[in-house]
Structure 1
Amino acid sequence: MAIINDQTYIEKTLKGDTNAFAFLVNNYKVMVFSLAMKMLKSREEAEEISQDTFIKAYKNLSKFKGDSKFSTWLYKIAYRSCLDSLKKNREKYHTGTIDEITINKINSTDNILEEISRKERAVIIKECLDKLPEEERTILWMFYYDELSLKEILEITDLSESNLKVKLHRARKRLLTVVKNNVEPEIINHYGRK
């Protein structure tokens, strides 16, 4: 249904009805802003990127051929805009190194996370995700939270399938390391006293 509505509003916009584009903006502004916040971690920058994304989409709407969903096309514009912003401000963003992950460490972390309520777990995972480098955080967010398919993520990022799978695997490992290093000691202390 959304695809049919999107196409209708795209056609109206291309015929000069700027109010029709407002429907598309309203429909996807949360998605675009959420992506920008996840990647940039700055409300001001996310708002600027969101605005730029919709301006670029409006100017290039005639180039949208409908080969993918409009949301995927728009997501790609936002993703590219965020990457450009990150490249310009590279010194603001720091990336850590991946520690060696063993099966015992994974099992230990999994056992501890099972002790935590679902709500607490969601907060912990979000905080840990925020500590990841922007590309890894974004790929994990697209896959798990936005529930985009690998095919959609491939379209957005222009990565090869094998490269995306490697990056997704590394991002999961790095997330596990962040959980292990930042959360586990607090949890062990908290739950160890029970």
Structure 2
Amino acid sequence: MDHQSDQYHIDAILAGDIDAYAILIERYQNFIYTLVIRMVRNHEIAEEIAQDTFIKAYLSLAGFEGKSKFSSWLYTIAYRKSLDYLKAKKRQATPVDIDSDLTAHIIEDVKNAFQLLEDKERKEIIKNAILKLSEMEASLITLFYFEEKDIKEISSITGMSPSNIKVKLHRSRKKLYTLLKSYHVSENRIPNERAI
């Protein structure tokens, strides 16, 4: 496994070592694809946008100033390309009708229920629940929880204000927990308080 910094590889590429770019692609291809697929909801399109992201990043690498992390810069390219695709398709996100009155107790029940599931099954359920969110909600959840980007980085990637991101992330999280809770209720998998 390669432990050199992104900047090390960027410097090598800019010095003429084109093969060094393969290391950056390998390092970030799964993250980029995950972000894109949760926005565009189409595997072929997601693969195409991910490839376009890496091509654009390569062609623009000399302009990368290092003011943000390379990963954030890459996510910004992927995010904008995904938005461009969605705008071109004029695709409307289908909002999920969800009761916004969630309590910390319900959220804790969901967390506890998930601990009882096999890891693979849990990941599949979470993935399916995220795909029921709007493209914007899915991208925010992905960036914050799966890519572990902070609010400032997400703001840089999406162009939204930090306060707007916090509000949207809060709402998205509520929707996701409600979707997960409804899955467990329908499957009779949520344990009662005494069983936890």
- 1:145 maps to what in 2? 146
- Counting only pairs closer than 5 Å after superposition, residues 111-122 of structure 1 correspond to structure 2 as 111=109, 113-116=111-114, 117-119=116-118, 120-122=121-123
* Offset at residue 118 of structure 1 (A): 4.4
TM-score by length of 2: 0.81
| C-alpha spacing 1:62/1:118, structure 2 compared with 1 (3 Å) | same
Q: Distance in 1 between matches of 2:15 and 2:64?
A: 14
* Offset at residue 86 of structure 1 (A): 1.7
Q: Distance in 1 between matches of 2:110 and 2:79?
A: 34
Q: Distance in 1 between matches of 2:168 and 2:161?
A: 10
* Offset at residue 3 of structure 1 (A): 9.2
Q: Distance in 2 between matches of 1:102 and 1:32?
A: 31
Extract structure 1 runs of 4+ deviating beyond 6 A. none
Does residue 107 (structure 1) correspond to residue 105 (structure 2)? The answer is yes
Structural RMSD (CA): 2.7
Question: Which structure has more helix as a fraction of its residues?
Answer: 1
Q: Distance in 1 between matches of 2:83 and 2:139?
A: 11
Q: Which runs of 5+ in 1 are unaligned?
A: none
Does residue 21 (structure 1) correspond to residue 21 (structure 2)? The answer is yes
Aligned residue pairs: how many? 189
- Give the % identical residues: 41
CA offsets per residue over residues 127-185 of structure 1, 9 Å max, x none? Answer: 21121011111111211122222222122112111111011111112213323444423
- 2:66 maps to what in 1? 66
Verify the 8 A CA contact 1:112 1:184 in the aligned structure 2.
Answer: no
| C-alpha spacing 1:191/1:166, structure 2 compared with 1 (3 Å) | closer
Q: Which runs of 5+ in 2 are unaligned?
A: none
- Counting only pairs closer than 5 Å after superposition, residues 1-194 of structure 1 correspond to structure 2 as 5-91=5-91, 93-103=93-103, 107-108=105-106, 110-111=108-109, 113-116=111-114, 117-119=116-118, 120-187=121-188
Verify the 8 A CA contact 1:136 1:168 in the aligned structure 2.
Answer: yes
* Offset at residue 42 of structure 1 (A): 1.9
